[in-house]
Amino acid sequence: MAKFQCVNELVKALQPIDPVYCFRKQSLKLASNWFNHNFPGDVLYAVKCNPTETVVKTLIKNGINSFDTASIDEIKLIKKISPSSKIYFMHTIKKEKSIYEAYFLYNVKAYAFDSKEELEKILKITKNAKDLELFLRVQTSNEHAEIDLSKKFGASINEAVSLSKIAKSKSKKFGLSFHVGSQCMHPIAYSKAIKDLGNIIKKSNIIPDIINVGGGFPTTYPDLYPQPIKNYFLEISRAIKKLNLSKQPKLICEPGRALVAESGSTIVRVELKKKQNLYINDGTYGSLFDAGTPKFIFPTKAIQINVASSKRLIPYSFYGPTCDGLDYMKGPFMLPSNIKTGDYIEIGQLGAYGMSFRTNFNGFYSNQIHEVQDKPLMSIYEADENYNVKTLYA
């Protein structure tokens, strides 16, 4: 991994044939500091979002010491990098072998579940361990999210009442959790979910030791301008207060996207231009899945080495390098009217769910990662020149 002042310098120096993934340490520092300063509880990083070692190491260096993992490989990764970090195994459907290894080889105590079958599996495999932290994931509305997780995961309120009773009696610590869906565009989603937890608490008469408000905190894209995340935290704090519990549960959250999106860009090369379609060397089977199926619009910047970029920006769509017609990204991606074959494009906000989605379908795969020090194309965080948290929508 080499280090460059900025993306332009990188492109001029390398003129890369394959996609290059850029990484901005300062953005991670800023986002981790911001979350740690402002969230009223512990911040866990959702490893799935970007498991690159440099990303994880930078987060740890900047005060993120707990991790939401979904597989045994993610657990191994964190243990290798930081044996003392706290690991939560938060996938609600786990292989027996993974639970066994997590508990007996990697000392993981915290597990999520959303069904009786999974709860019994955890208890059986850990031989009814007495030091478990059990998190019951509750189904909540994902109506404000760009990516819906609510159909796949979560116990209904009625199921949750009876599962709370079993889990409470079998655990050292009992937690309730939810996920409002990824890129959640309105803070009210969190207060509605917390109100649902309130119903469960009332009906079961069990106050959880921990409330996990999940991920879902938004970043910004050219067509998605969420409210400041501080509003989300205020909404959470107010909703918890409203529950009027006799004992205050500890709060935790599991952000992915909002912590790491800004830190990563993909640099692609234009291989061919057909009208307003650009055929580029990365696509939906690479780091651009979210530009395909969920049709995210990412910020773009042209890097044209030998000509000045036209100031007239026009909308383009992208085709990726594979033979599949689904390898299509509608956009619109706004780029200069004179962009042509051989030019480069920086595509921003891909520190989240970019590199982690790459496949080698059709023989197209790149693992070139470099560090750059310029500012990201879009940011929700405001920093001074040393990248310390300044005001951020204060």
- Which residues is 111 bridged to in the sheet? 89, 134
**Residue 175 binds to ligand PLP (criterion: CB under 6 A):** no
Binding marks (x or -) toward ligand PLP, 20..39, rule CB under 6 A?
--------------------
**Residue 90 binds to ligand PLP (criterion: CB under 6 A):** yes
**Residue 178 binds to ligand PLP (criterion: CB under 6 A):** no
User: Tokens 């042209």, residue?
Assistant: 302
What's the closest the beta carbon of residue 255 comes to ligand PLP, in angstroms? Answer: 4
Among 182, 263, 366, 379, binds ligand PLP (CB under 6 A): 182
Among 35, 39, 217, 344, binds ligand PLP (CB under 6 A): 217
What's the closest the beta carbon of residue 72 comes to ligand PLP, in angstroms? Answer: 16
**Residue 68 binds to ligand PLP (criterion: CB under 6 A):** yes
Say which amino acid occupies 120.
Answer: E
The kind and range of the H/E element at 168 are: helix 157-170
What three-state secondary structure class fits 366?
Answer: coil
**Residue 179 binds to ligand PLP (criterion: CB under 6 A):** yes
Q: Output the residue with the shortest Cβ distance to ligand PLP.
A: 215
**Residue 214 binds to ligand PLP (criterion: CB under 6 A):** yes
What's the closest the beta carbon of residue 162 comes to ligand PLP, in angstroms? Answer: 22
| Distance between CA atoms of residues 303 and 355, nearest Å | 21
Among 46, 55, 185, 229, binds ligand PLP (CB under 6 A): 46
Question: Among 79-87, 221-229, 254-262, 289-297, which window interacts with ligand PLP (CB under 6 A)?
Answer: 254-262
Among 25, 79, 168, 257, binds ligand PLP (CB under 6 A): 257
**Residue 49 binds to ligand PLP (criterion: CB under 6 A):** yes
Half-sphere exposure (Cβ direction) of 194: Cα atoms closer than 13 Å: 28
- Which residues is 314 bridged to in the sheet? 335
Cβ contacts of residue 325 below 8 Å, gap of 6+? none
Select 41 or 336, whichever has its Cβ closest to ligand PLP.
41
Among 74, 114, 133, 254, binds ligand PLP (CB under 6 A): 254
**Residue 215 binds to ligand PLP (criterion: CB under 6 A):** yes
Provide long-range contacts, Cβ within 8 A and 24+ apart, for 200-204: 200/138, 200/157, 200/160, 200/161, 200/164, 200/176, 201/176, 201/243, 201/245, 203/157, 203/161, 204/160, 204/161, 204/162, 204/164, 204/165, 204/168
Q: Which among 116, 125, 126 has a CA at the least distance from the CA of 164?
A: 116
Select 179 or 370, whichever has its Cβ closest to ligand PLP.
179
Report residue 106: phi and psi, to 5°. -115, 5
For residue 366, give both structure tokens.
């790149």
Provide long-range contacts, Cβ within 8 A and 24+ apart, for 102-110: 102/72, 102/75, 103/129, 106/75, 106/76, 106/79, 108/75, 109/133, 109/172, 110/86, 110/134, 110/135, 110/175
How many chain residues touch ligand PLP (CB under 6 A)?
A: 16
Q: How many other CB atoms sit within 10 Å of the CB of residue 160?
A: 25
| Distance between CA atoms of residues 86 and 332, nearest Å | 41
Select 19 or 216, whichever has its Cβ closest to ligand PLP.
216
| Distance between CA atoms of residues 388 and 34, nearest Å | 9
Question: Among 3-11, 77-85, 251-259, 313-321, which window interacts with ligand PLP (CB under 6 A)?
Answer: 251-259
Check: CB of residue 21 under 8 Å from CB of residue 287: yes
Report residue 45: phi and psi, to 5°. -90, 130
Select 90 or 110, whichever has its Cβ closest to ligand PLP.
90
Select 290 or 327, whichever has its Cβ closest to ligand PLP.
290
Select 339 or 352, whichever has its Cβ closest to ligand PLP.
352
Select 216 or 320, whichever has its Cβ closest to ligand PLP.
216
Select 182 or 265, whichever has its Cβ closest to ligand PLP.
182
Among 256, 321, 331, 348, binds ligand PLP (CB under 6 A): 256
Q: Which among 64, 58, 66 has a CA at the least distance from the CA of 23?
A: 58
What's the closest the beta carbon of residue 256 comes to ligand PLP, in angstroms? Answer: 3
Residues lying near ligand PLP in the complex (CB under 6 A): 46, 49, 68, 90, 149, 179, 182, 214-217, 254-258
